[in-house]
A and B are shown apart, each in its own frame.
Chain A
Amino acid sequence: MKTTGYHFQQKHILGIHHLSPDDIAFILRTADSFKEISTRTIKKVPTLRGRTIVNLFFEPSTRTRLSFEIAAKRMSADTFNVTASTSSATKGETLIDTARNIAAMKPDIIILRHSFSGAPELLTRYIDAAVINAGDGTHEHPSQSLLDMMTVQEHKGRLAGLKIAIIGDILHSRVAHSNILGFTRMGARVFVYGPATLIPRDLAELGATVCASLAEAVTEADVVMTLRIQKERQSDPLLPSLREYAQKYGVTRKVMDWARPDAIVMHPGPINRGVELMADVADGPRSVILDQVTNGVAVRMALLYLVMGNS
């Protein structure tokens, strides 16, 4: 677990954008070494004993919160969950006020989930604790992207040179944004496809190839990642119906036939089975969706460990 002359220097984990390829590789190696802990009978190491970690969630999320909480507990940290409703937080002062109140109790790490992009960065200006972004608006979801990269690396033995197809609502997906940054930074090629209404302008400049068809995106892909499609937004006519979405953009077994024979299927969850991903694919032999969940704990243990090493 050594790279000559390399030191992990991030105080916060705000986004993949802030991580160098060396940082990402180092986090993945660290996560690998922590993964074994979760297979022990006594799944606990004393690494973060006496450390206080606050899960500050302004947006409902069972999976991510639970994954962070398990990660923290496996490292013997004291964890506290604060769930604040964003609806009452229509004034941003609520975020800063809440954060200042929590900061006064001297936590070591604040894990923040928030529905507005940039909220974790805002937090770092007002508090001393390390901040880990657990998903902010449509900006980034770095721990999800890291666990995705870890999962792909486990199955493919590498990231460089792979073809990664990301299908669906790119516009509103922080997972897609982080993954485009992360996979391209590690030398993979990212191909995206979805309805034009859900593909942001200038996406190509982020380093992804925007495809004209589902076939173009998936053909010869090593990884096919589908994204959760949101129900239509009332005030913005993005899609005519989920029924049509499933027909034209959904990933079926037939679609997977275009991919490489050893291609894997991923989804950040929760899945709309039968919409963006058909049940037989989601639960089929190529699906690594549960590996993603397992690796999530290891990646989050690594992040907690590494930011503590730099405080």
Chain B
Amino acid sequence: MTTSWLFENGRIIDPRRGIDRPGSLLIVDGVIAAEGTAVPSEARRIDAAGCWLVPGLIDMHVHLREPGQEYKEDVVSGTRAAAAGGFTGVACMPNTRPVNDCRAVTVQILERARQGYARVYPVGAISKGSRGEQLAEYGEMKDAGVVAVSDDGVPVLDSQLMRRALEYAGDHHLAVISHSEEVALSRHGVMNEGLTATRMGLMGIPTAAEAIMVYREIALAEYTGRPVHVAHVSTAMATELIRSAKARGVRVTAETAPHYFTLTEEAVQGYNTNAKMNPPLRTEADRQAIRQGLADGTFDAIATDHAPHSQLEKEVEFDLAANGIIGLETAVPLTLALVREGVIGPGRFVELLSVNPARILGVPGGTLSPDSSADLTVINPELAFVYTRESVVSKSKNSPFLGWNLQGRAVMTMVAGRQTFTLNR
């Protein structure tokens, strides 16, 4: 298989080196070549006119559902969807069946990933079984290949356990990712608390449920001096807490998801279960605050929280429907909309989707510097398309964006010089 390529006439965007300029990119034997390197005769030439050449995108928050719920997604189908969306790496959350809280499950996922289409970075559980009682074995999981720990899907309710997790994870150089939710406040809710919920007769989840737990994580990070990463921020309140914590030097990083800067609770109208997720879609004021946080650096990353569910879990009464939506194949166009609307620039786009996820997780990537592995995403930012159910690569189709006219997408994705996706036209 060819691993030497020459992408000509593209726009190279590599914010880690301060680069955003037209140019050509040479890949030799799966590695980015230094400028001036002779082009090997077997190198395939690709005309990248009008396209961005950016470091491979990394989604630091996905659910691949394997082991245990392969009818929704598996490592191979999930990474195929990732590649189609322009991602070269994904961090998969441990809420599988069984929970990834030990070496055996981590090894199984990584074994399957060898047939996959993207680098897979398993996230181990914070607590055994994600039950919030005892620490999982971080040292052994780290040796097996986890890059971070999280009890995602549920919060760590016990503050002492969370404190110990931050301390102990630091010893093993693992990021700690918080699903921030005060369950006592959110337990009865199925969507954002407010007018729309009242109108629809649905119980609400207050924004305070997120903010209270985000503040606890900030307080623990500040007190212990250890870093914490806050997942899927949905509210203005939590955004402001993170902004002010960063300003006083707390080691907190945060991600939000495309649906939080694109949609509001209005999307739930008609009891649309494809707009049901946790945390829920919020109000327009929250959406604007999230966009502001993306613009001003409060957020470090955009992650999809790709959460595949089958029709069985979604074609039901709203109260009974599973939380979550797929997101890998829509993240690029939805984030490009922010660029077109002037919220962020192209460099920031790359930071949010590649540079910072790599840095937070401590994994390679996030740059096109010479001698680094050729993990590359080629994006045509103008290409318009309709996101149809038939076009979805993921096994599950639970997206609120089906039928949307989107603009901009990955046209080629490459891991270590190996093509993992090419758009057929």
Contact = CB atoms under 8 A, between A and B. Distances in A.
B198 A174 contact: no
Which of A201, A206, A236: most chain B Cβ within 10 A? A201
B237 to A, nearest CB: 15
B193 A201 contact: yes
Interface stretch (A69-77, A132-140, A150-158, A263-271): A132-140
Kindly state the interface size class of chain A when it binds its partner. Answer: 20 to 34
B271 A174 contact: no
14 contacts: A91-B312, A93-B312, A93-B316, A117-B319, A118-B201, A118-B317, A119-B317, A121-B271, A122-B317, A138-B201, A139-B201, A201-B198, A202-B195, A235-B188
Contacts of B187: 235
Nearest to B311: A93
Interface string A1-31: 0000000000000000100000000000000
Contacts of B203: 138
B157 to A, nearest CB: 15
Interface string B1-13: 0000000000000
Contact of A117 (B193, B312, B318): B318
A116 B317 contact: yes
A284 interface: no
A236 B187 CA distance: 10
A137 B320 contact: no
Given A136-B201, A174-B201, A202 B194 contact: yes
A173 B141 CA distance: 50
Kindly state the interface size class of chain B when it binds its partner. Answer: 20 to 34
Given A93-B312, A202-B195, A206-B195, A140 B201 contact: yes
B200 A91 contact: no
Which of B193, B201, B312, B319: most chain A Cβ within 10 A? B201
Interface string B166-201: 000000000000000000000110000111011111
Interface of B: 187-188, 193-195, 197-204, 270-271, 312, 315-321
A118 B270 CA distance: 8
A9 B320 CA distance: 31
A300 interface: no
A206 B199 contact: yes
Contact of A236 (B188, B315, B320): B188
A235 B198 CA distance: 20
A92 B320 contact: yes
Contact of B271 (A90, A118, A138, A205): A118
A162 B321 CA distance: 41
Nearest to A138: B201
A177 interface: yes
Contacts of B321: 92
Top 8 A-B pairs, shortest CB-CB distance: A92-B316, A139-B201, A118-B271, A117-B201, A202-B195, A116-B317, A138-B201, A200-B198
A114 interface: yes
B318 A118 contact: yes
A203 B196 CA distance: 10
Nearest to B314: A92
Contacts of A177: 198-199, 201
A96 interface: yes
Nearest to B317: A116
A229 interface: no
A203 B320 contact: no
B199 to A, nearest CB: 7
B49 to A, nearest CB: 46
Interface in A109-148: 114, 116-119, 121-122, 136-140
Nearest to B194: A202
Which of B197, B199, B312, B319: most chain A Cβ within 10 A? B199
